[in-house]
Structure 1
Amino acid sequence: MQSNVPTGSTALLNERFTLVLLAHDQSTALRRALRYYSESSFTLLVVDSSSRVDTGITAAFSDVQYLHAPTASGFGDKVRQAVEHVVTPYLAVADAESFLLPLALEQAMDFLEAHGEYGACQGYSVAFEAHADRVDYYLLDRKGCEDYSGPSAEARLSAFAEDCPALVNALTRTETLRRSYASLPAGFDSQLQEAGHSYGVVADAKVRLLDIPYGVHERSRVRKPQSQVAMTPGTQDMRAVAEQERLAITLAAAFGAGASVREHARGIVKKLAERSVPPSGKLFESTWDSRRAEPVRRFEPTQYVELPFYNQAFFDVLATLEFLLHAAPSGQVQLKELEAAMLKQKELSRPQRNTSAEPLDEQLARAFLSYAFNQDLVKQLLGLMQAKGDTRYVQMLQAWDQRLKAAAFENTARLFDDTRSGRLLRWLEAREPSAREAQQVSKYLAARKGGPTFGILILDLEADIFKMQATFDSIINGYCRAFKIVVFTTGDLPAETTPQSVLHFVKVNESNYVDKINQVVSQSDCDWMVMAEAGDELTPGGLFRAGVELLDAPCQAVAMDEFQRQPDGTLADVFRPGFNLDLLQSNPAMMGRHWLIRRETLVKLGGYSREFKNAMEFDLLLRLIEQDGLEGLAHLDEPLLICQAPVVEDNADERKTLLRHLAVRGYQADVSAVVPGTHKIDYRFAERPMVSIIVHGVDDLTVLQRGLLSVLQRTRYQRYEVLVPTMAANHPVLRTWLDGQGHQASRVRLLDIDAGVATGSLINAASQEAKGDYLVALAADSEVVNVNWIESLLNQALRPEVGVVGAKLVERDGRITQAGLILGLNDSVGSAFVGESKTARGYMNRLVVEQNCSAVSFGCLMISKQLFEAADGIDTGLFDDALGDVDLCLRVGQAGYLTVWTPHVQLIQPGVLASTPQALAALREKWSGAFAQDRFYNGNLALQGAGFALGPVRNVPWTDLLN
């Protein structure tokens, strides 16, 4: 589309210049940018490559042209489409996260109109990174050559190769870009397309850099992205280098310059593609002062005063921008920090029942200082201050409220609702009883001697009065009143109390606090004890529900769920499974804290151990298991605490008590840590039993041969055989192939079966021919990855309490296909984490540690032959075609054995669980209780999707609990 406005005319600005905004799933940033440019009179064209049309743009900004380009695959593709729609003689391109200064754009256009031989003009830019309370600015451009005015493309490119300033945001003649893009190649990644854009502009016409502030760019948009190819020091990403070379050759040929231009092209493409924000190039930061309603700047020691940024006019522009950045946050760093800040605001805005708590107006005032752009908070604070009659504060808030409303942005408080922390708080609030329900439960408990009483043991080893206040407030705000609090503090005692007091303080030091705890427990009249730390907050309904559920419970120790504050201040849920021995052993930081322990049990066990101060609760649970087995351990799927997340580090006390426990159980084990904070147990069995590998599902001989080859070549264990049940017609082909695979192929036995035999019958029949003490059902399309796979399976299967062992199944590209099975997932039986990287840690580290689960599949399943025969093998009556593996695991579990899933055995396998409607219906009917609640999952987690996501918001059925 040709321009119909001559260069240098006195036409209106919107007839002379178009600013093109590029967007992709950047709704907030795009609206923020359009608001920023709304006072300017040039034409605005949005090129949006999002999958969906943003229908609200033209409604909110009627003068904006909106082009939906979902097929545009990168920067160059979007600019190519934009050029065809622009009718003005000049244009500039900017990302929706960036800001080009309108005055600078006009100055650049004035230059081009006065110098017809130039094709592009721009000034200097800085990068910014928005945070919750401040904006950091970084060096982006450096001083260099400012005039690329050589008479030929080769001369200009030769000069340009020295500095290579990015020209993607330069104000450019539309015809220059049209000619350039007619020659520019397509099909390169976005970053190389930007390099080609700059190269093409210089090759087509002269370029000038003015000594003016020009743009402010979001840092992550201009920073060199991390290569997807893992690199070791001293190596290069060869694929990226090859792409750069290909583009350089293409550019040099496309623009028809001299022979030396190819070398310039290599250098230019490399420099532009690797252009990044220097990590030490921070210039200054602007912290928003809520009292003054303006930023306060702090400059770094190193400055670049030759750049044109150090003047009041530029800082005034930045002040306007910063208001927009805080009022309409969109950057990942900023949003993550705001989640923590707004979580704190949410907590501070909650009325307290504790009469000694900080007054609500003072809490809200503190919240306002941390982030003043939360419109809900401003409204709440304004109402309180009006009621209080604080005229000066009210006037300040009213003026600020009007400024926020004038910006016409979406209420930033809504942002918090969509965060993980926001969803967790909303979910938790829904579980609180209504006033009527609370009254009914209290009456019910009163009729039963008040219900169980809870001793809350609080460790205050840092003598932090503010943390203690938060804990006290949470307890008072709760619904449970059947408690006593004992604070073990290293600080001065705030009051003289006795063990009979509801709140009792005990002076301790680092050497005696464990003994003091045990002494208090032995003298307590409470039924249950729970340990917490200063700063931990009890949920409003956690103990209240526990009081009802534990009235007649025969258990000795109960785990509950919790929310944990992450190092960045946000919340993460920890929804634990029902008691899970192997997960407790491998991940005690997540599984071994904050248990409710029956006081009698705690005393009987001799209390907590001084020897394992950093793993007191874990050690206590292990001693309870040693004494009474697993029967007295239970789980209640209700959050009890909001606490600090444990530090991710190796815990020597955990390891020592775990080794002690394993020795008591008769294992001379070794404990190591594959992932910090977790434990991998090598039981170090001396036995080397014979293992029979039954390969099933033979449909494609090529696939079968590849799987057999992986077993023969990658199995270090020597005492094994491979049984391949297949039709007699396949035997000659397989035997001939096996004869060429060396002596290891002698381990393979071909078993003759009829065509159409189902998996269940096939495995049952093969087990009768097996010579091994242990059987491994292995799908024919499985490929072994780690050479110690049989040893790792036996490491679990040889334990007397273990019945079945399964493995981690992955795609060839490393994505998870199966990681243990969950009953009821997606209305069937499924695996969580499908599609995640095999290196991912998963929810609560559950992708990297051994654990118990309800079932594993025949993709790779080990069981002792004796137990398999005792269970009468696979139920071929109901589950011959499908789900026989799940039924087998459930029957073994019903007999008292554990099913263990181990991530330390990996196989390449599609992980598709064989299922039919008939088999699924039969499984549901036979195991209805297990389907109602998979005890190795959690009732608060979603049963739809990939698993381990927060379930729907729902109330606790308080009234039903009383029946």
Structure 2
Amino acid sequence: MQLDEITALDLNDSAVSFSIVVPVYNPDLLQFKAMVESVVSQSYSNWQLVLVDDASDNSELNEYLAELENDPKVTVVVQEKNGHISTATNAGFAMATGDFVVLLDQDDLLHPDALKCVAYYLAQHPEALVLYSDEDKVDANGNRHIPHFKPEFNPDLLYSHNYISHLGVYQRELVEQVGGCRVGFEGSQDYDLLLRCLEHCRADQVVHIPYVLYHWRAVPGSTALAESEKGYAQDAGLRALQDHLGPKGVTVELGKLANTYRARWPIPEKAPLVSVIIPTRNSKDLVEMCVNSLYENNDYAKFEVLLVDNQSDCPESLAYFAELEAQGKVRLLRYDAPFNYSAINNFAAKQANGEVLLLLNNDVEAINGDWLREMVSHAIRPDIGCVGAKLYYPNGTLQHAGVITGLGGVAGHSHKHFPGDHPGYFKRLQITQNLSAVTAACLAVRKSVFEEVGGLNEQHLTIAFNDVDFCLKVREAGYRNLWTPYAELIHHESVSRGAEDNPEKIARFQKEIAYMKTTWGEGLLNDPHYSRWLTLDREDFSYR
């Protein structure tokens, strides 16, 4: 449904009520009044505005607050002593009477239909406990820009930064249950509150509203304008996330960009064996590069290599493979049938001894030593399915940063060809996140999960899209797929297989496209980790 269709609905008789809680401290009065007006002019009428003045020293503000108290829908709380934002917010929560509390900053703006839109989504999702919307920024001249079109609830993205942010709507009983905001987490008190609320929510009780309902004012000194302005907020966020994930044995550190974090998940003392499956036909030089990087650029020692020879006929390659086997570096398997990527990997997986499988192309070369440890640490998490890596072309541009379904009709790579150090759309190239699919050029998954979904589809997807189909089956089985930028490798893409340039290959590729569209239908065009407002025609996260 479009926003204007929601706007046209008559929802004012809805039973749900909202308390908009605003901590106030010496605001710019013009901006503050604009914020109040954005609430008062809401198209949905079942609301309460709670303004908590945190001991401001502004006579004009005092006069304006006194005027507002004449409105029965406005509650003004005046703190005798400045207690900072957490204390002020809690004072607002204490006066809130609504079913849900809405967090709003003193100089930001609500879309006129924000509350109506939230009420509509609550009617569609009566089990919801936390809701959040898309947002944008508004400059000093009132111009809106930099819209953030967000994905559906994405736990690992949230563990990387507070992408949920504004508009944040919480069931009031849930906020009371967790004790409101914690003093000492100022600057990231909303992130801390959210993380603690999520400990009492199922994933389906966190609902994304895909409309820009909140306008975050970007003025000098604000986090919206320059995140580096508030380093204390980043430190508070780090502590909040560590408190949330620490009981799971996770350690949290600062990420690559401002206000981002890296969660390092534990690997047990008895580390799982990883079976690295590398299919090849000839390609001695590629295999040598790939296997050498496994042994020389990898600090995770517990692995076996299954080199699957698919009808090699090059004497030099055959001699090298035999040499690797004699050295104990690989287990050499023979797959004596025409090339079928799915069948080859399924064949090898049955003979793998590892708890974790790593599907690896023979043209992939490791860069950083902890890449496999990073992938394994996520793959062994019970709620995670497939884990993908950050792959570069030899020229340093991006080849793979996760897969978005629907791009080009079936699926495409996020931010393909972007510079390797680019932050991406709202930092997504530099932070761990859940995605619908990842490429099997470098894919880790527990063997039990691989077997649970029946492995790769060797009947209908012999070459293309078998990894996307596999990941979607894994997601359908209830696991979250994940991409990490902390496992970095070079992918000399399809060097050994060649291009899809003859009639037979083109016909096969078209059949595989048709299979994907028939099997997964319209769901391909609605990737929950993307946004309906972003393009399906390009891989650059530009607007639709």
Task: Give the TM-score taking structure 1 as reference length.
Answer: 0.50
Q: CA shift at 1:848, angstroms? A: 0.2
Q: Distance in 2 between matches of 1:904 and 1:877?
A: 34
Q: 1:551 to 1:742 in 2, by over 3 A?
A: closer
Q: 1:510 to 1:817 in 2, by over 3 A?
A: farther
1:575-607 residue CA offsets vs partner (Å, 9 max, x unmatched): 11000001111012x334431112222222222
Q: 1:484 to 1:636 in 2, by over 3 A?
A: same
Instruction: Determine whether 1:584 maps to 2:166.
Output: no
| Conserved 8 A contact 2:282-2:314 | no
| Conserved 8 A contact 2:255-2:431 | no
Q: CA shift at 1:767, angstroms? A: 0.6
2:109 aligns to what?
A: 537
Instruction: Determine whether 1:463 maps to 2:27.
Output: yes
2:149 aligns to what?
A: 575
Partner SS, residue 27 of structure 2: coil
| Conserved 8 A contact 2:272-2:356 | yes
Partner SS, residue 681 of structure 1: strand
| Conserved 8 A contact 1:463-1:489 | no
Instruction: Determine whether 1:524 maps to 2:106.
Output: no
Q: CA shift at 1:516, angstroms? A: 4.4
1:629-661 residue CA offsets vs partner (Å, 9 max, x unmatched): 423111110111110316424511111111111
**Segment of structure 1 superposing worse, 717-726 or 902-911:** 902-911
Q: Distance in 1 between matches of 2:238 and 2:341?
A: 42
Q: Distance in 1 between matches of 2:94 and 2:105?
A: 20
Q: 1:943 to 1:566 in 2, by over 3 A?
A: farther
Q: CA shift at 1:529, angstroms? A: 1.6
Match of 1:759 among 341, 351, 364: 341
> Considering only CA atoms, is the larger Rg found in Structure 1 or Structure 2?
1
2:403 aligns to what?
A: 821
| Conserved 8 A contact 1:818-1:911 | no
Q: Distance in 2 between matches of 1:499 and 1:514?
A: 27
| More helix as a share of residues | 1
1:934-956 residue CA offsets vs partner (Å, 9 max, x unmatched): 100011112111232122xxxxx
Q: How do residues 208-607 of structure 1 correspond to structure 2 at under 5 angstroms?
A: 433=4, 438=7, 440-441=8-9, 444-446=10-12, 449-450=13-14, 452-490=16-54, 491=56, 492-493=61-62, 494-496=64-66, 501-508=72-79, 509-511=81-83, 513-553=85-125, 554-565=127-138, 571-588=145-162, 590-607=163-180
Instruction: Read off the aligned partner of 2:36 and give its amino acid letter.
Output: F
1:885 aligns to what?
A: 467
Partner SS, residue 934 of structure 1: coil
Partner SS, residue 612 of structure 1: coil
Instruction: Read off the aligned partner of 2:210 and give its amino acid letter.
Output: D
Match of 2:308 among 702, 706, 725: 725
1:926 aligns to what?
A: 519
| Conserved 8 A contact 2:250-2:263 | no
Partner SS, residue 746 of structure 1: coil
2:540 aligns to what?
A: 947
Count, aligned residues: 512
| Conserved 8 A contact 2:386-2:445 | yes
| Conserved 8 A contact 1:698-1:704 | no
| Conserved 8 A contact 1:714-1:784 | yes
Q: CA shift at 1:556, angstroms? A: 0.6
Q: 1:670 to 1:701 in 2, by over 3 A?
A: same
Instruction: Determine whether 1:682 maps to 2:246.
Output: no
Q: Distance in 2 between matches of 1:648 and 1:730?
A: 58
Partner SS, residue 722 of structure 1: strand
1:641 aligns to what?
A: 214
Partner SS, residue 614 of structure 1: coil
Q: Distance in 1 between matches of 2:312 and 2:537?
A: 44
2:193 aligns to what?
A: 620
Q: Distance in 1 between matches of 2:488 and 2:136?
A: 32
1:160-190 residue CA offsets vs partner (Å, 9 max, x unmatched): xxxxxxxxxxxxxxxxxxxxxxxxxxxxxxx
Partner SS, residue 460 of structure 2: helix
Q: CA shift at 1:740, angstroms? A: 6.7
1:783-813 residue CA offsets vs partner (Å, 9 max, x unmatched): 1111211111112112221111001111111
1:665-704 residue CA offsets vs partner (Å, 9 max, x unmatched): x214242332221101112323421111111353634333
2:221 aligns to what?
A: none
Partner SS, residue 530 of structure 2: coil
| Conserved 8 A contact 2:410-2:516 | no
Instruction: Read off the aligned partner of 1:617 and give its amino acid letter.
Output: D
| Conserved 8 A contact 1:559-1:635 | yes
Q: Distance in 2 between matches of 1:638 and 1:673?
A: 28
Partner SS, residue 563 of structure 1: strand
Q: 1:752 to 1:459 in 2, by over 3 A?
A: same
| Conserved 8 A contact 1:593-1:618 | no
Partner SS, residue 624 of structure 1: helix
1:376-407 residue CA offsets vs partner (Å, 9 max, x unmatched): xxxxxxxxxxxxxxxxxxxxxxxxxxxxxxxx
2:296 aligns to what?
A: 713
Instruction: Determine whether 1:875 maps to 2:449.
Output: no
Ranges in structure 1 where 5+ consecutive residues have no aligned partner: 1-430, 952-963
Partner SS, residue 900 of structure 1: strand
Q: 1:880 to 1:451 in 2, by over 3 A?
A: farther
Q: CA shift at 1:515, angstroms? A: 3.9
Q: How do residues 844-859 of structure 1 correspond to structure 2 at under 5 angstroms?
A: 844-859=426-441
Q: Distance in 2 between matches of 1:725 and 1:512?
A: 62
Q: Distance in 2 between matches of 1:662 and 1:732?
A: 53
Q: CA shift at 1:893, angstroms? A: 1.3
Q: CA shift at 1:854, angstroms? A: 0.2
Q: Distance in 2 between matches of 1:507 and 1:572?
A: 35
Instruction: Read off the aligned partner of 1:789 and give its amino acid letter.
Output: W
Instruction: Determine whether 1:703 maps to 2:286.
Output: yes
| Conserved 8 A contact 1:731-1:750 | no
Q: Distance in 2 between matches of 1:626 and 1:922?
A: 40
Q: 1:478 to 1:629 in 2, by over 3 A?
A: closer
Q: CA shift at 1:477, angstroms? A: 4.8
Match of 2:365 among 757, 776, 783: 783
Asked which structure has the greater RCO (Cα within 8 Å, sep 6+), the reply is 2
Q: Distance in 1 between matches of 2:179 and 2:346?
A: 50
| Conserved 8 A contact 2:283-2:317 | no
| Conserved 8 A contact 2:306-2:330 | yes
| Conserved 8 A contact 2:134-2:167 | no
Instruction: Read off the aligned partner of 1:948 and give its amino acid letter.
Output: F
2:503 aligns to what?
A: none
2:421 aligns to what?
A: 839
Instruction: Read off the aligned partner of 1:807 and give its amino acid letter.
Output: A
Partner SS, residue 418 of structure 2: coil
| Conserved 8 A contact 1:451-1:547 | no
| Conserved 8 A contact 1:690-1:720 | yes
1:222 aligns to what?
A: none
Q: Distance in 2 between matches of 1:555 and 1:514?
A: 24
Q: Distance in 2 between matches of 1:482 and 1:465?
A: 26
Task: Give the TM-score taking structure 2 as reference length.
Answer: 0.86
Q: CA shift at 1:503, angstroms? A: 2.2
Q: CA shift at 1:742, angstroms? A: 11
Q: 1:821 to 1:866 in 2, by over 3 A?
A: same
Q: 1:609 to 1:939 in 2, by over 3 A?
A: same
Aligned Cα root-mean-square deviation (Å): 2.9
**Segment of structure 1 superposing worse, 595-604 or 755-764:** 595-604
Partner SS, residue 469 of structure 2: helix
